[in-house]
Structures are given as structure tokens and as C-alpha cells.
Amino acid sequence: MIIDMQSSEVPRLNMSSWEIGESRYLPGMEIKKLGKEKFVVYIGPQHPGSGHMRIIIKVDGDVIVEADPDLGYVHRTMEKLSEGRAYIKIIPLVERMAILDACNATLPYVEAVEKLLGLEAPERAKYLRVALCEINRIASHLYGFGIFGVFLGHSTMYMWGFGDREILVELAEKLTGARLTHTYPIFGGVRRDAPQNFTDNLRKAIRYLRKRLEDYRRMFLDNPVIRKRLEGVGIVSKRAATDLGLVGPNLRASGVEYDVRAVEPYEAYDEFDFEIPVFEEGDSLARAWVRVEEIKQSLRILEQVADKLDKTKGQQIMHDRFWAKVPPLYKKVFEAEGRVKLMPLFAILRVPKGRAFARTEAGRGEITYYIESDGKDKPYRVRIVSPSYRNAIMFKYAIPGHRVADLPAIYGSFDYFPPEADR
Amino acid sequence: MAYISIWTLTRDVISTVFWGIVKLIFWPPIYQFVIIPGLVAALVVVISIIWFERKAAARVQMRYGPLEVSPKLAGYLQLFADLIRYSFQEIIIPRTADIIPFITSPFFALLLSLLPLAVIPVSPVKWTWPLTLSAMRYSVLIAAALTTLSPIFIVAMGWASNNRFSTIGSMRESFLITAYELSAIIGIFSVVATVHSFDFTNIVNFQGGGKWLGLINPIALLAAFIATLISTSAFPFEISDAENEIVAGPFTEYSGLMYGVNMGTAYIKRWAMSVLIVLAFLGGWRPYIPPPNAGYIAGYLVPSLIVSAKAVVVMALMSFLRAVYGRYRIDQALHISWKYVFALAIAGFGLGILEGYLL
Amino acid sequence: MDDSDGNKKVYVGNLDESAERARELLIKGLKLDKIIDWGTTFSLWPIDLTTSCCGCEFAATWGPRFDAERYGALPWLSPRQTNLIVIEGTITRKMACALRVSWEQMPHPKFAIAMGTCALDGGLFYNSYNIVRPWKIIPVDVYVPGCPPRPEALARAIVELQRIVKKGEASKTILRGMARSKPTPKLKEDPCSWWWG
Amino acid sequence: MMPAKFVHKKTPKIGVLSSIGKNASALVLGLKYFFEPNRFTLMYPREYIVLDKRYRGFIVLIKNKCIGCESCARVCPTGAMKMVKFEVPNPKNPEKKKIVKYPTINHQRCVYCGFCVDICPTEALYHVPVHDVVYFNLADMIQYVESFQKEPVSPTAAEGAVPVKYIFDPERGLVKVRIKEGEKQ
Amino acid sequence: MSSNDQLKNFSEKLKENLGDLISKVEIHKGFILIETHIDKVRETAKKLKEIGFDHVKSVTVVDRMKDGVFEVGYHVSSYLNKDLAKYVVELVTTVPRDKPLVPSLTDIWLSAEFQEREAYEGFGIIFKDHPDLRPILLAPPVAELKPMRKDFVVKEEGIYRELPKKENVSSKVSEKKG
């Protein structure tokens, strides 16, 4: 049998043979058959309502009958590039897929390599990782709210979201030395110790953010105009969410109880007392509310982390394998600046042969890494599946049946971040 | 032989020319259409209001807004900079556009949105009325009719641009026209029912002594206010040029000066509607009452300034909503305007009739 | 009046010269060039072409803490009304088409800022098969290093661009018909070839 | 061990009447912030943030400390840091030339991850907390050994702008504070 | 984190349930690998879905150029069944590199749709009966290169840089050294 790679037998798009969830259509919507006079509208990539992607929609009047997401406008071939680079160089590389959620994006990679190396970070390093992860999660949700505000024409929400995000960015900057691209977790630990007044500042920020969440509710979530736009829009049932394999807040807004922090607690997440909010409605409003509740829980985690950080002050933040035999200059620098100097062996780190799979809960949902090592200083294969990529399928199935004006509302509620999806 | 001093002659000529110019300026059609509350006032107000809109939103949003252009004036010159930039930028006319409507529509829309200002009285003094006495008796009717003209050209703009987003935008605009016009006109006409007159002068005179019709009949005021928001695509009804959905709606393809004109048109329309609302509901030039045979200043300039000041406040209120609201969806806006605003307008009209019977 | 070929000619003066004189009068008398440059300086509206992850810092620059709207720069949505492109990071092969099309849709005079290492020399993705260098697509006035650059760095780029414009970069194209100091690069291949056919 | 719990919640419902109240609530909140704005904008060209010492800004070489071990070039994820070989006369054997290597940096590529600074065994590289330098030519951005040793100057500071810092406040979030002369960061 | 014993027990259970559909079960770091023949992929997948694995986390294709095969793997797990959610199972099958034809599992796991498209554009694997097999991330001309295959090599730069000819730095350096 000869296979022609570009054969014409590639099946074409055929909506009618599709079934999602329990019914053929998403609840409350009926997909009309496209008439002769179809009107194709290209939303993006230079379009305010699309970000850096394109959605090709076919409209019948004002109702979208078909949506075809066209991804890849920020596809930077991270998987291929990582096959040619040393392990440590991949950390900043994969970080770029979600720089607003940097720690969460790199952590599973670091974990996977740590699994292969057979080492685990020291206690304080774990707390620092959790601290940065939660800071990033809140910052990422606030970013999402900001963009959501823009999509609904609510410029104040954008400004408030970005303004309050600056507090978290400032915290992260004080901790890691960079605003967004922290490159913080590293094999065996983290790169910097917390500065002197970090926990005090953290507590102040938590108090302020708690107060602001109430403002958000009054201004944005309970605002009748916004509610009207979100309520009952883009409903995804529990079954559909499972079938489509959604992740993160979008999944939990549809009533599925899944969060990697609870299912397979990584780092120090099993030591903290927190809840994971789950909403039943599955519409855009529920997706927005899930994030608000998650911010509240993240603040709760951060409070506990602050206590733990105070308790473990002065402890080692690097695994013994990379820290026991370092020259005295390294320890002097660590004591003076809290900066972990790296052994030159990091540049040519060889990882034992094997395969590892790691998953963590990033701001937008579960992020998974599959790493295969053949014993050399470069990985044989790195497979990254990011939350936005798994959520991208929603555009195809959740948008048809809605009006053109609902597209930004649904897009915003997914909190979709194209660089993360395209990798 | 009579000796004519060269100085006297010069003085006479100068005074003739001066008074001629003054007369021309205060000639009602010119004054109202071009100066106050027409083009010049409208431009000044629009520039100030856009500045206010940006600064007010910025205040709520924890920042400063336009500033560096003139830090001492808190960035007031920002709009002039934008205007200059617009005016000298390249004007692109897409090859696929329908050229004649594409070019002419923005200017027609601008002129027609100014027209209602040319038929309303801004002073009770008879010589200042821009229409004949008999026509003046129906000034509410004429002004209301003229407000409905400019949207047609916005629809034409979208059609002529031959762009998908423009087409969707103009479709939305045409949906909205039908939705708001009735409510706006019925809302304003409820005062007619109360006062038993189509004459703005009578309506304003009726509102003497703080007896503003907006206070007597707040329902109709609310209906007219919301209808104005819809008609001028102000938040939360910024739908026909919703940026995040359909780029700039009917104006997507316009560049340079022509977009500047378009941007001005929506605000000028809001200005005209605000002036109408002020006359109908907020007491017009009251509490000031000019003497019956007052001159240019006391009889024309002062009352027109009072009307303008009140209208600016109304506009500022409308602009502030940007900081609080997002935008509705088109079907929700239609739903609101037909189900609630229209009902409000009818209720206001009923209340107006009742009050007209009682008062 | 007949000229040597016997054609009838109406003498109306040298039109080119008159136009030239009128232009000089406008420039010298009204200082029109200064006015245009002033207006353009404080009205650099970047187009909302979010190309990559530097968009986070782009958005933060217009956020409350750094508030680039103070400079009169307002991110705008339709390319027809803008005059600045901020290339926010990586340009992939697919996005290169959108970048070029957006650039061509913008009216003159227009400017560009390349933001982030990805927009300068590929940054972390320097050897990727799916990215292009944006300065091969459109002319870039200011380069901002960093990955991503701090919002201050982008604000600095805007301030520097304002200084460039104030020196006459806008008026010379409008009034004198001169080319911009950074010429538009000639495309070696059509970035949109995959899209057209 | 206290694993996280899943808690089911519902979005709050509001009726037609309470929506009037919610409208008013949003408007009142807007007016509150209009009259008492909580602004913390940095007036950038006239003010600049004095960055933390730990900030990972531009990288500078201390040539005397450099031993030419190539670690920085090997760990650089972008190939911004590269070694340049120089031939210098060998004091012991004047006929054979000695080859010394120094790092050079390409700011077109550098992502300021700080791996090179952290991996340098002799602390020959360090970060300068400056990050608002822009360039007009791509060629200016490659720094060879000579220019790599110079600390970049923040153009804003050079223009005489006011240094500020941000402190955390539980009521107002971030608060801009002016740094007085002589005050330590 | 599930301990090793748990993983072993679970893999035993899987073996029991799937019977002779699978040829190999391996425990790796963080997931259980089950290998099956290409003809039995659909059957195994259906069985796995019946057990409760309701979504695909990742469609992982590995190019084993030395063996001349592609390893097509589906990392599956469960959302609705909390016991299964702890485990990630990779269903692996191999196809020859010169004839990469795999039955599509999109109709069993809808969540695999986009990832199968990605595998198609990156490796050129054709998923039979996939409803919409087009490149997803790359422009068609780039996708034709099949860039994810191992024989498409992306070059890394070296660690040395040449000095520009104008700048005669070496002399200065030597002066200062001396």
C-alpha cells in the first residue's frame, strides 16, 4: 500500500456527524445548516477580539454556525528546539510559553527532570516554589480578568486587573530578580532565597488583595451589564467538558472535580489547608467566578506559605547533590545575596536514561510534560501539552450557536493565552 | 462745504464693518448652526468632553491619562495633538470601496447631526429664533425629526466601505436606529403633552421656578437619557462600533481626517441630543430670564451659554459611564430598548398627559 | 501664445514653482512642520497587533502603574487609524503575513518599535524553523532589548521615538514628500505566500 | 497531610429589582474612586524606579576575574554569550602565542536569565540593575570585551529624573515613595 | 504521589482487564506504559474508555529513527473517576516510519482531535478516519517539511564568536595584560 502524504482522501470538516456530550448540540443552542449565502468572517490575527490567533467563523445573520480556530501564530517550536539543547537551557525556553505564569509553566519540566535524576528539592525550596506558583496563579488570573474586561468593553476592569497584578509582579521581582521571566525553579531547588522582608510584604499584599476582590465583585461580576453578557453564554456541560478534555478553571466551572494539586499533590501542596472551588453552571459567569474563588484560596495558601517560610528561615534551598561540595565562594555569595551559584556541571548535565511524565496545575489548568532521556546531555524527546492548547478545542465546539458579539465574552472567559497554546 | 474728517469716515467704516460682522455672527441661522450651540461650541465641547472622558476614566482606573503633552494643563491639548495628527495623515480609500458615498457620508453625517441645533430656540427673545414664528410653534417636532437623519449616513458608510466588519457594524447601527428613535422621541414628546405645546420656548417657560420637567416627569427623562446613550453609541451601548467585536464597526476603513470627522460625529450627536434634553427637561436657559427686548449679549449669548453649560453636565454624566460599564450585546440592547426603555417612554408619556391634565 | 511647435499654450506661470513657494510659505510662515511634528509626537497610537508573549509587558505599559497613555499613545484597534506598530516579540511565519499586511494598511507617516529579543534576533528561538526576523519585514525605528523588556524600557522607546519624530520625521514625509530615514525592507519572499496560494 | 477539598458553589443570582441596586452599587464605587483616586503611576521620563540590587538587569564583565572557562557561553540558552579568542604573547615562551578567551555579549539575544552570572566560578560577571536602555541600530547591541566591561547607565537617571521606589501597603497596595538623596536602597 | 506499590498493583489490574490486547506493561516515572499492536489500538482504547479513562492528556509521538518506527502514544487519564485520576496511562503503538498510518482515536476520545492534527503536521502521521486532518500550528509549506522528525535537524550555534575586523581589540588586550 502506497501512502500519499498529501492525498486528497484527507477527510474534510463535517459538522453534522458530530456529537458532543449528551446531545448533538450544546444545551440551549441549535446549529443551523449553512445556507447558500454563507458569510465568512476572519477574526484575527490582527483583531482585538482574538489575541494572537485566528478564528474563522461562518455566520448566518448574527449567529455563528461554525467556528474553526486557527492556532499557531505564536508557534515557536519549543518541542523541537529542546531536542537540541542542554537540559538547563530548556528551562528559560519553555518558560516563554506563559511568561505571565512562568513558575507554573517550568515547574513540571523541572519536576520531570528531577524524577529522572532521582532527587527532590529541600523543604524550603518547595515552599518557595509554592509561593511563586501561587503568586503567579493570582497574577495570571488577574491578567485574565483584565483581558476579559477589555473584551467586554469594561476598561476599568482591565486597568484594575493590571494595576493589582503589579503588586504580585513586584513581589515576584523582589523574590527572583525578574518581573515575569523568573527562571526560578531549577533542578534540585530554586535559584534565590527570599529577601529579608518578603513575608511581611506578602502579608500586606494579601490584605490589600482581599479588599480589592470585593471591589471587583461590585464593579465587574455583579455589574448587571457584565452579568447579562456572561450568564448562560458558552455553556459547557460536565459531560462535554470531560469529553473535550478541558483543564483548569474551565473544567471546574463545569462541575468536574479535578485539580492536580488535590489529585496528585506535588511539591508541598499536601501540607496546606485549602479548598478547590467547583461551579456547576458551566457558563462564562461560572468560569469568571471560579477564578475569583481560586484567587481567594491562593491567598489562603500564600498566608500559610508565609508562616512556613518564616519557620524555615536560613535553610538550604538546593539539593545536596549540587550544594554539598561547592567551593567556599559559592556559600559566601549565598549568605551575602541569597543567590544560589550553579555548579559548572549544570551546563553539561547528563540525565539517566528513562521516561518521565509530570503534571502540575498552572494558572490556566493542567500542564503536562513528557520527557524521554537517552542518557545524554540533551533530551531525546520533550512533549509539552499546555492548558491553553487543551482548551483551544472549546472554540470549535462552544462557540457555534452564539452571536458574533458573544465571541469575545466566551474567548475571555476561557482565559486563553495563545503563546501558551502554540508553544 | 461740508468737511468730512478722515477720522470720522474711518470710524464710520470700522463701526459699520464691526456691527456688520456682529450682526452676521448673531444672525440666528449662522449663530446657532455655526457658533453656539453649533459647530464651534460643539467642537470645543467635544474636545473637552473627550478629554474629560479619558481623564475621568483614568482617575477611576488608578492612573493619570493623557498628560505629557501639556503637563500644566493636565493634558488638555491631547485632543488637539490627535486632531492635528489625524488631519495630516494619509487618507486611504480602499480600492473596493464605493468611492462617492465613502467620501461624502462622513461629512453629511456631521452636518446632519448638527442640524437639530439650528432649529431650536436658545433664548426666549423673539428675534433670536432661527425659524419663522409659525414654524417655531413646531420646533420640538422639527428638531426631533432632524435628529433621525444622520444615522442613515453611518449605515451608508459601513456599506460603502465594503468591509465585513463595517457591514456588521452598519447592520447593528440600523437595528439600533429603529430601537432608540421611538423611545427618544416619545420621551421628549411627553413634555409636549404636559405643556400642551410643540414650542420649545413655551416648554422652557413652563419650567420656571425650579419646576423642571425632569423633576416632574423623571421617567421620561430617564427614557430619553438612555435612548440618547443608545443613539450615540455611548457605554454601555457602544455596540455599532464595538472595538473588540467588530474593530471599529462602520468606521473600520476610514483613516486620517475622515476618521476624525467620524469620531466627532458621534460626540456632536450626543451634544445635540444633550441640548434637546436640557431644553425639554432641565429648564433650558432658566433660571435666567432675559428682558423682552434684550440685545446680543443679554438676549442671545448668555442664555445660549446657560443651555450649553447644562448640556455639558449631561454629557459629562454620559461620559462617566465608560468607567463603570462594559457593553451590551446587540440583542440585549434591542431587548432593553424595546422592552424597558420603550415602556419607560410610554409610561413617561402617560405621566406627561396626566400632569398636563392636572397642572 | 504659441510655442515653437505651434501648439496653443496658456501662460499660467510655473505651477510647480508656485506650489513650491506656497509650501515654503506654509512651512516658514505657519511653522506647519513644527505643528505636524508636535501633533504626531503626542499622538503615537500603537496598533493592537499582539504578536507574542511580550504583549504581557505591552499591556502592563498601558496599565495603571506605567500608564503610557500619558504620552498620548492609545492602543487602537483598526490599523487605518494608527501610526505605530510595537512588535511584541516573536514573529512566526504565519504572523509575518499579518505583520506586513497590518503595516501596509496603516497610513503614512508610521513608525515601528521592536520589543524584546525575539523581535531583534530571535532570542531563545534563534534557530527555530518557524520564526522570522521582523526587521526583514518592516522598518524598525527603535529596538528594545530584554525578554521581556521592562515597561520602563518600552516607555523609554516611546520617549525616544517621540524625540525622533519631533526632529521632523513626520513632517518631512507629509510636507516634503521625503522618504523615511529607515527604508522599508525589500521582501525576499512574500510572507503571505502560504496564505494566498 | 491535608489534601485539598473540593467545594461546590453556585454563582450568585440577582433578580430584576436587585439589579437596580447592583447598578447603583457599581456607579457609587466608580464615583468613590473618581473622588478618591488610588493612583500609583510612575511619571516615567521624570521619575524612575531604583531597582533592587537583586534585579537581573544588564550584565557586566570584570575582566581581571575572568579565567576563560567558557562556562557562561556553554550555559547561555540563547547563544548571546560567546567567547572570543585573543592571541597574546606568552611570557614563558615568546615564540608560541598564548590564546586567552573572554566572553562577549549580544544584547540582541540576551534574555537576562542570569545563568551565566550564577555559573561563573569566579564571580567575574554581575548584573547591573538597569533595564531601560534602547538602541537604534542592531550593530550597537553586540558588546565586545571593551564595552562589555562598562556599566550601562540608565538614560533616565542620566537625564536627572527623580528616583522613586515602591513600598507595599495593606490599604493602598503599592505606594510610590521618593528616594531622598543619600538614602540606601 | 502514588507510591510504587500502588502503581504495580494498578498495572496488574490493567493487565487483567485488558487481557491479551496488550503486549507489554511498563512502569515509568509518573505513568504506566501499555503497548499494543496497531490493529488492536481501537479495541484497547474502547476498553480503556469503558474502564473510565475519559480524556487524553497528550498525544505523544516519538520518532525512533534507529528502529525505523514512530511510537504513537496517548497519555490518558480520568476526570470523573477519582481513583483512576491518580494514574496516567500511556497507550502506545508503533508504526513504521515509511508507512505511518494509524487509526484515529478521535471518535473515542474527542480531546485527541487537535493533538492528532499536530502529530500529523509534525511527523506526517496520517490518522485514518480523522474528521479534519489539516495542519494546525504551522503554515502548510512548513508543515510539509515534517519538522518534528529526527531527520529534520535544527542546528545549534557554537560558543565562539569572531571579532569584527575593524576593531583591533587583540592588541589593546595584550597591552593591558602586559
Residue A149, domain CATH: 1.10.645.10
- Which among B67, B68, B259 is the nearest to C81, CB-wise? B259
Calculate mean pLDDT across residues C161-175. Answer: 81
To probe the interface with D, which of C111, C141, C156, C161 has the most D CB atoms within 10 Å? Answer: C156
- CB atoms B62 and D34 under 8 Å: no
CB–CB contact A100 C147 (8 Å): no
pLDDT digits (tens, 9 = 90+) for A64-94: 888 888 888 888 888 888 888 888 888 888 8
Which chains form contacts with chain E, at 3 or more CB pairs under 8 Å?
A, C, D
* Residue A405 belongs to a domain: yes
Most confident range, picked from A381-385, A405-409, B324-328, D97-101: A381-385
Q: CATH: 3.40.718.10, 3.30.70.3270, 3.40.50.10860, 3.40.50.1100. Which one for D58-151?
A: 3.30.70.3270
Are C108 and C82 a contacting pair, CB within 8 Å? no
Per-chain mean pLDDT for chain B: 82
Closest-CA residue of chain E to D71: E159
Residue B296 has pLDDT above 80, yes or no: no
Q: Is the pLDDT of residue D16 over 80?
A: no
**Three-state secondary structure string covering chain C:** CECCCCCECCCCCCHHHHHHHHHHHHHHHHCHHHHHHHHHHCCCCEECCCCCCCHHHHHHHCCCCCCHHHHCCCCECCHHHCCEEEEECCEEHHHHHHHHHHHHHCCCCCEEEEECHHHHHCHHHCCCCCEECHHHCCCCCEEECCCCCCHHHHHHHHHHHHHHHHHHHCHHHHHCCCCCCCCCCCCCCCCCHHHHC
* Residue recorded with cell 469568571: A288
CATH topology assigned to domain E4-177 = Beta Polymerase; domain 2 (3.30.460)
On the question of pLDDT at B58 being above 80, the answer is yes
Report the residue of C193, C194, C196 to disrupt the E interface, i.e. the one with the largest count of E CBs within 10 Å. C194
pLDDT-based confidence at residue D54 (cuts at 50, 70, 90): confident
Contact B156, B314 (CB under 8 A): no
Q: Is the ipTM of this complex over 0.95?
A: no
Spatial neighbors of D180 by CB under 8 A, at least 6 apart, are: none
In the predicted structure, residue B47 carries a pLDDT above the cut 80: yes
Q: Which pLDDT tens digit goes with each residue over B109-133? A: 888 888 888 788 877 777 777 777 7
Q: List all residues of chain D from 23 to 42 with a beta carbon under 8 Å from chain A.
A: 23, 25-26, 29-30, 40
Mean per-residue pLDDT for E1-16?
75
Interchain contact, B238 vs A153, CB within 8 Å: yes
Tens digit of pLDDT for each residue in A115-164?
A: 888 888 888 888 888 888 889 999 889 888 888 888 888 888 888 888 88
Above pLDDT 70, what percent of chain D?
97
- Among A116-120, B286-290, D108-112, E2-6, whose mean pLDDT is lowest? E2-6
Inter-residue contact A158 to A149 (CB < 8 Å): yes
pLDDT at A15 exceeding the cut of 60: no
Residues of D in contact with E177 (CB under 8 A): 88, 100
Residue C13 pLDDT > 80: no
Q: Do B85 and C80 touch (CB under 8 A)?
A: no
Which grid cell is B19? 456691527
What is the predicted pLDDT for the residue at C73?
85
Residue in A155, A223, A403 nearest the CB of B329: A403
| % of chain D with per-residue pLDDT over 90 | 0
Phi then psi for E127, rounded to 5 degrees?
-95, 110
**Mutating which of C35, C77, C78, C173 best tests the B interface, going by the most B Cβ atoms within 10 A?**
C78
> Measured between CB atoms, does E15 come within 8 Å of chain A?
no
pLDDT at E168 over 70: no
pLDDT at A31: 39
Contact check, Cβ <8 Å, E156/A355 = no
In whole angstroms, give the CA distance from residue E109 to residue E86: 19
Using CB atoms, pick whichever of A258, A354, A390 lies closest to residue E29.
A354
**Which of A4-8, C173-177, D98-102, D177-181 has the least mean pLDDT?**
A4-8
- Distance from B182 to chain D by nearest Cα, in Å? 24
Confidence of residue A38 (pLDDT cuts 50, 70, 90): low
- Contact D100/E173, CB-based, under 8 Å? yes
Q: How far is C-alpha B194 from the chain's CA centre?
A: 24
pLDDT at A176: 87
For residue E39, pLDDT over 70 is answered with: yes
Contact between E98 and E122 (Cβ < 8 Å): no
Does A247 fall in a domain? Answer: yes
Nearest CA in chain D to E175: D88
Q: Is residue C186 part of a domain?
A: yes
Q: What secondary structure does DSSP assign to A57-72, as a single string? A: EEEETTEEEEEEEE--
Measured between CB atoms, which of D118, D123, D166 is closest to A191?
A: D118
A349 touches chain D (CB under 8 A): no
Point out which residues pair with C47 in neighbouring strands.
C76
Q: Which among A42, A48, A153 is the nearest to B326, CB-wise? A: A153
Q: CA angle, A360 as apex, A357 and A363 as ends, to 5°?
A: 145
Closest CA to B317 of D30, D18, D16, D20: D30
B8-17, B88-97, B241-250: range with lowest mean pLDDT: B241-250
Regarding predicted confidence, which is higher, A235 or B235? Answer: A235
Residue A36 in this model has a pLDDT that exceeds 60:
no
Whether B164 shows a pLDDT value over 80: the answer reads no
Spatial distance between the Cα atoms of A133 and B134, rounded to a whole number of angstroms: 76
The residue among D19, D33, D174 with the most chain B CBs within 10 A of its CB, best to mutate, is: D33
Average pLDDT, stretch B142-164? 82
**E154–C129 CB contact, under 8 Å:** yes
Q: Count residue pairs from A and E with Cβ separation < 8 A.
A: 135
Residues of C in contact with B88 (CB under 8 A): 36, 39-40, 170, 174
Asked whether residue B342 carries a pLDDT value surpassing 60, the answer given is yes
Mean pLDDT of B145-168: 81
Neighbours of A12 (CB within 10 A): 9
Q: Is residue B323 within 8 Å of A156, Cβ to Cβ?
A: yes
**pLDDT value at position D112?**
87
* pLDDT recorded at residue E133: 82
- Picking from A183-192, B318-327, D176-185, which range would have the lowest pLDDT averaged per residue? D176-185
Residue D146 touches partner A, C-beta closer than 8 Å: no
pLDDT tens, C47-59? 877 777 888 888 8
Mutate one of B53, B54, B59 to test the D interface: name it (highest D CB count within 10 A): B59
Contact: chain B with chain E (3+ CB pairs below 8 Å): no
CB contact under 8 A, D8 and A86: no
Taking the C-alpha atoms of residue A347 and residue A334, their distance in angstroms, rounded to an integer, is 20
Reference A57, options A377, A352, A410; nearest CA is A410
Domain containing residue A277: 78-82+121-345+388-422
Ranges of each domain in chain D:
58-151
For residue B214, what pLDDT is reported? 75
Q: Does residue A305 carry a pLDDT above 60?
A: yes
Quickly state the pLDDT bin for C85 (edges 50, 70, 90).
confident
CB of A16 within 8 Å of a chain E CB? The answer is: no
| Boundaries of every domain in chain E | 4-177
Q: Which of A76, A96, A162 lies at the smallest CB-CB distance from C130?
A: A76
Task: Give B3-42 pLDDT, tens digit per residue.
Answer: 677 888 888 888 888 888 888 877 777 777 777 777 888 8
Nearest to B324 among D27, D38, D45 (CB): D27
Q: Strand, coil or helix: what is E165?
A: coil
Distance (Å, whole) CA A189 – CA A114: 10
Residue A340 domain flag: yes
Residue A3 reports pLDDT greater than 80: no
Look at C155 and D132 and tell me if their CB atoms are within 8 Å: yes
Residue A50 is predicted with a pLDDT of 60
Per-window interface: B 88-127 vs C, CB < 8 A: 88-92
CB contact under 8 A, C63 and A81: no
3-state secondary structure of B110: helix
The pLDDT confidence band at residue D4, using thresholds 50, 70 and 90, is: confident
- Considering only the beta carbons, identify the residue of E142, E152, E157 that sits closest to C127: E157
Contacts of A261 in chain D (CB under 8 A): 4
Q: Taking CA atoms, what residue in A is nearest to C48?
A: A48
Contact (CB<8Å) E147/C93: no
SS3 D81: strand
pLDDT (tens digit, 9 = 90+) per residue, D34-51?
A: 888 888 888 888 888 888
Nearest C-alpha in B relative to D16:
B340
The nearest CA of chain C is from the CA of E173 a distance in Å of 28
Of A280-294, C163-177, E50-64, where does mean pLDDT reach its minimum? C163-177
| A34-61 average pLDDT score | 70
pLDDT at C103 over 70: yes
Mutate to test the interface with D, among B60, B226, B229, B318 (most CBs of D within 10 A): B60
In total, how many domains does chain C have? 1
Q: Which of A138, A187, A219 to mutate to test the interface with D (most CBs of D within 10 A)?
A: A219
Mean pLDDT lowest among A322-336, B137-151, C102-116, C163-177: C163-177
Supply the Cα-derived Rg of chain D in whole angstroms: 26
Give a yes or no: residue A132 inside a domain.
Answer: yes
pLDDT at B1: 53
DSSP string, E29-48: BTEEEEEE-GGGHHHHHHHH
Nearest CA in chain B to C104: B92
For residue C155, what are the domain limits? 41-196
Average pLDDT for B262-274: 85
- Residue A272 located in a structural domain: yes
Q: Tell me what pLDDT residue A13 has.
A: 32
Residue B13 exposure: Cα atoms within 13 Å on the Cβ side? 7
Name which of B155-159, B206-210, B251-255 the model is least confident about.
B206-210
Closest Cα in chain C to E155: C127
Q: Which three cell numbers stand for residue D149?
A: 566591561
Nearest beta carbon to residue B244 from set A41, A150, A223: A150
Going by pLDDT thresholds of 50, 70 and 90, the confidence category of residue D1 is: low
Residue range D158-181: average pLDDT?
Answer: 84
Assign 3-class secondary structure to A227-294. HHHHCCCCCCCHHHHHHHCCCHHHHHCCCCCCCHHHHCCCCCHHHCCCEEEEECCCCHHHHHHHHHHH
Residue A196 maps to a domain: yes
Q: What is the overall mean pLDDT for chain C? A: 80
Whether residues E174 and D89 touch (CB distance < 8 A) is answered with: yes
- Asked if pLDDT for residue A53 goes beyond 60, the answer is yes
Percent of residues, chain A, with pLDDT higher than 70: 89
How many domains does chain A contain in total?
1
Whichever domain contains C129, its CATH number is: 3.40.50.12280
**Nearest neighbour of A242 by CB, restricted to E54, E139, E156:** E54
List subunits contacting chain A, requiring 3 or more Cβ pairs under 8 Å.
B, C, D, E
Query: Looking at the predicted structure, is the pLDDT value of residue A18 above 50?
Result: no
Mean pLDDT score of chain A: 81
Q: Is B331 on the interface with A (CB under 8 A)?
A: yes
